[in-house]
Structures are given as structure tokens and as C-alpha cells.
Amino acid sequence: MTIREAADALRARRVSAVELAAAAHARISRLNPQLNAFITVTAGEAREEARQADAELAAGRDRGPLHGIPVAVKDLFLTRGVRTTCGSQVYRDFVPAADAAVVERLRAAGAVMLGKLNMHEMAYGITSANPHFGPVRNPWNLEHIPGGSSGGSGAAVAAQLVYAAMGSDTGGSIRIPAAFCGAVGLKPTYGRVSRYGALPLAYSLDHMGPLARSVRDAALVLNAIAGHDRRDPASSRRPVVDFVPDDGCSIRRLRIGLPENFYFDHLDPGVESSVRGVFARAQSLGALVTPVRVPDVAALNAVGRVILLAEASAVAQPHLEHREKFGPDVLTLLDQGRLLPATDYINAQRLRRQMCREFDQLWSQVDCLIAPTTPNTAPRIGDATVRLGGRDEDVRLATTRLVRGINVLGLPALSIPCGLGSTGLPIGIQIIGPAWEEALILRIGAALEDGGVGIPLCPAASHP
């Protein structure tokens, strides 16, 4: 059931918010011991919020489509009175006094909060093999990673523990778990969703966004969380539109960019054939598939890595006296960042401005780009390398190479599932659009979804 279907059922009194929350909690109790998607489950609070949601609906107060819908948030969003760990020893006992902006907005929209989701330590990695709270497991195959850093969010949505989850994306951390778990994941434009109250990884790369069961569900969540927030210095004043695509929306005559360079290099063959199949589907739906050369994305990735290393180490520096509190992979990255000179960071930010201009010119040729989200399907837990195109590649660098650059540009990108690989694990495409064009990429995603692009329900989710 999607958010829209659940919302309809609530208003038709076929189900209550209390029943939805109880069903979600029952699924969490049954499946979370294997998946380890949650760090904290707030069942008692959720029951009370659901009672309140039912009472409001009965009294004629309708907060909109998220009213009474069970959701959860990555454990880096501050939650008043509920521990917020950031998947780290550093914050193990941190109980915030206030909610993050995103949490405030979800609550204002009537969503029922089921708890806090496991993640890669400090959001600094893509495996979600958390050394302090245990590894999150992929609901399609428990031996595989769910991706990260929002791994708990991806696993919880794919296994239908919640209807939607909040994640954050600094170098692919929403889109990667969405692709690996077979969920929809939206990284909005930088500045569209407030970062206030989300523990930072890298200030100029962090984006907040939803993971959901369908494109329209992701749009419903974006409707609730988007908009200016003066507490976030990067928050945009641009007006918020209704992001939910119409039923029967069309992509006829839209120019869909098919990258001729970079994005199809060194792919798993199953990923490549699945993604190329999406272009055929788009063409059959009336889109104009337009081959296009993209600017130097490898350079963009190098710039992104310098910015990330420097900003993340700056954020974490006060805690680095306690090295024993960090897992080895995160500590290595934090040490690397400490060694970069300030000149490299400044020059990376100069290159970023230059590359944003270069990329901007692309939008005169095409309305969006479609590319694989990741070159591979989810690796096994513990794998350090992945073999792609006849070469072994570091798992983190391979998994982020098609997504990281878009964080540097701040552009919106939507990952949707498009197929299953030879091992039965999900494959995702990302739809990348010009700045502030979330409504456009959501429309393209919804039209593709309506047109049959997608995957079956995750087996873990098929059981009631």
C-alpha cells in the first residue's frame, strides 16, 4: 500500500492511524531483528501520535496526505526527547531538546514517527556496516549491504516497515540505498529542504530528502518538508510548488539526455542492460531520447572528494581526541581530511563554481539526464572491492562514482528502481534535472513508473 492508498483508507474509515502504526510496529518487531534497520523504535510515542491523528480526523482536522502515516527518520535528525546517535559512539547518549526542521514539518503534516534509523557511522560511508550498532542488512538478501549512508532508511522502506523515511545525501547517501534496496529516493536541490537540526557531515554537500515506496509518495513527503527556513543559512526562499505528479502525467516530447560519456563506463552488464531498457521505455512513451556529452564528471568527483574530506574533518575535529570512538573506515577518512591544506579546499570550491557553469549549459540541450544510480548492485557485507569492467574497484569509490558529482552541483536527482540484476538484487536509475526542477524529475519518474518501469515487491515485504 502506498501513502496515497493508506490516506484514502484512513479517510474512508477502512483503517485507523492506530491500526496503521500497530501494523508497522508488528512488522518492525518481526523483521528488524534480521534487518537491523532501526537503532531506536518509538512504539509508545507512535501509538500516542496515532491516537491523536485519529482524534483530529474524527474532529474534522485534516493535516493532509501524511496525516496518520507511519514514517521514520535517519538517526542524524534531531528528535526532541529521543536519542539521536548519528550512528556514532560520539553521540551515543545524545538526547536533543528540539526537533530538526524536517521532523517538525513531518509532525506538522500529521506523520506518525516510528523511530530512528540505522546508518553508516556519522553518515560517512556507503555500506551502513555500522561498527557500533551492527550492520544494516539488505531486505532482498541479508548477506548484502543496503547501501548508505541512509541504509536503515532504504531497508525500512523496501521491507515496508514504514511508508516513507527521511535520509540525507552528501555523496549519494539517499540514492545509493534507494537503488540497492529497490526504493525511490529523492535528493532535492541544495537549499530546497532545511538542514537545520540534521547533524552535519559536510555543510556544502549535505542534502535532506525522502525514500519512499513510489515516486508520488516521495513527492508527497517533499511537499511536507520543502520550503524556506531562516535557521538554515543555505535555505532557499524560492516558492514551493505542488510536487505531486498528476495521474496520467506525460513525458511526450521531453528531451531525455542519454549520456555518451562517463555514466556507462565500467558497469555491471546487468545494470547496463536494465538502464538502457529504460531509455527504450521512455521512447515508447513519447520522450525524445537525446544523446549528449556531459562535462568532466571524473573531475567533478575529485572536487567533491576534496570538499567532503575537508568539511567532514572540520566538523569532526573536536571529537578526534577520542580516536577509539570511531570505526576504522571513518577514522581513515577523517585523518585524510586533516592533512589537506586550506588552499586545496578553496581551490575545490573555485572549481565547483566553474563546473556548475559548465553543467548549466547542458540544460539547453536536454530537459533531464538519465543514468544508472550505481554501476553495480549491492555488494556483500564486508566486500572491500567490486569487479566492474574487468577491473577491481574500491567499493566506496565505485558505488559513489555516478552520484557524488551531483552533490557538488547541488542539482535534484531522483533514483527509481528499474530492474533486478543476475543475483536478484535491485538496480536503480537516477533522473537528474536542472536546479529547482524537482517537479519535472518527479513527473518523469512517475510517468516511467506508470509506464511499467519498476521491480516486484521485495520478498521480505510480501509477507503480511
Partner 1 sequence: MKDWRAIAKASGLDLDPAQLDRIAEPLQALEAAFRPLVNRLTPDVEPATGFGLPEDGE
Residues that bind partner 1 (CB under 8 A): 204, 230, 233-234, 298-299, 302-303, 305-306, 332, 335-336, 338-340, 344, 346-354, 356
Cβ-based nearer residue to partner 1, 152 or 188: 188
Length of the chain: 464
Distance of CA 422 to the CA centre of its chain: 24
Which is nearer to partner 1, 273 or 347 (by Cβ)?
347
Residue 173 among the catalytic residues: yes
**Please, which residues have CB within 8 angstroms of residue 325's CB and are 6 or more apart in sequence?**
88, 89, 90, 319
Shortest distance, CB of residue 397 to partner 1, whole angstroms? 8
Residue of 16, 88, 128, 149 with catalytic role: 149
Per DSSP, 308 falls in state H
Q: Which is nearer to partner 1, 261 or 349 (CB)?
A: 349
CB 187 → partner 1: shortest distance, Å?
18
Number of H helices, E strands in the chain: 15, 15
- Shortest distance, position 388 Cβ to partner 1, whole Å: 17
For 34, which DSSP code? H
Q: Between vectors from CA 257 to CA 252 and to CA 261, what angle results, nearest 5°? A: 160
Alpha-carbon distance values, 355 to 56, 186, 242, 398, 412 (Å) = 49, 22, 30, 22, 16
Minimum distance, C-beta of residue 341 to partner 1, in the bound complex (Å): 9
Q: What is the DSSP string of 368-417?
A: EEEEES-SS-PPBTT--EEEETTEEEEHHHHHHTTTHHHHHHT--EEEEE
Distance in angstroms (rounded) separating the CA atoms of residues 116 and 134: 14
Q: Return the H-helix or E-strand segment holding 101.
A: helix 101-108
Q: Measured from the CB of residue 382, what is the shortest distance to partner 1 in angstroms?
A: 17
| Cα separation, 82 vs 73, whole angstroms | 12
Q: How far is the CB of 131 from partner 1 (least distance, A)?
A: 16
Minimum Å distance from CB 434 to partner 1?
17
Gyration radius (Cα) of the chain, Å: 20
Please, which residue, 106 or 208, has the CB nearer to partner 1?
208
Per the annotation, the verdict on 16 as an active-site residue is no
Quote helix, strand, coil % in the chain, to nearest 5: 40, 20, 40
Which backbone phi and psi does 398 adopt, to 5 degrees? -65, -45
Q: Cell numbers for 21, please give them.
A: 502504526
Does the annotation count 149 as an active-site position? yes
Provide the minimum distance between the beta carbon of 116 and partner 1 in the complex, in angstroms, as a whole number: 29
Side chain identity at residue 366, one-letter code: V
Q: Are 187 and 175 in contact (CB under 8 A)?
A: yes
- Out of 16, 88, 153, 173, which one is annotated catalytic? 173
Apex 236 CA angle, 443 and 404, nearest 5: 65
Q: Please identify, using beta-carbon distances, which residue of 137 and 305 lies nearer to partner 1.
A: 305
In the complex with partner 1, the residue whose CB is nearer, 45 or 296, is: 296
> What residues are labeled active site?
74, 149, 173
